Structures are given as structure tokens and as C-alpha cells.
């Protein structure tokens, strides 16, 4: 497991970005990545009107 970054969220919780590489007996490997948090919402455009 390769930890890419850590971010403290509170005294007892952390957000971690990691990559896990798994190899089976035949030498086949797979890579699993941590889910990234969703992107922040884009600011609304005041020129666009909703109906």
C-alpha cells in the first residue's frame, strides 16, 4: 500500500489518498485506488437565469 497524502479532518479522523497493488500467485496484479472526495460545487453564474 502506498499512501499518497493525508489530511486531518478532526482530532480522531483523517482523510487518506492511497493506492493498493495486489499480486496473485500467477503474478497477475491489480491496482485499487482510494476514492477521491467529490469536487466542490461550481459557483453559479449570476447572468444565467433559471425558470
Question: What pLDDT shows up at residue 1?
Answer: 78
pLDDT digits (tens, 9 = 90+) for 1-51: 788 888 888 888 888 888 888 888 888 878 887 766 555 666 766 666 555
* CA-based nearest residue to 33, from 22, 24, 20, 23: 20
Q: Tell me how many degrees the CA angle 39-5-17 measures, rounded to the nearest 5.
A: 55
* Domain residue ranges in the chain: 2-33
- The structure's pTM equals 0.43
Amino acid at each position: 500500500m502506498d499512501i499518497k497524502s493525508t489530511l486531518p479532518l478532526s482530532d480522531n479522523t483523517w482523510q487518506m489518498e492511497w493506492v493498493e497493488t495486489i499480486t496473485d500467485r500467477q503474478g497477475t496484479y491489480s491496482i485499487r485506488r482510494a476514492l477521491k472526495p467529490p469536487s466542490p460545487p461550481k459557483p453559479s453564474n449570476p447572468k444565467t437565469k433559471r425558470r
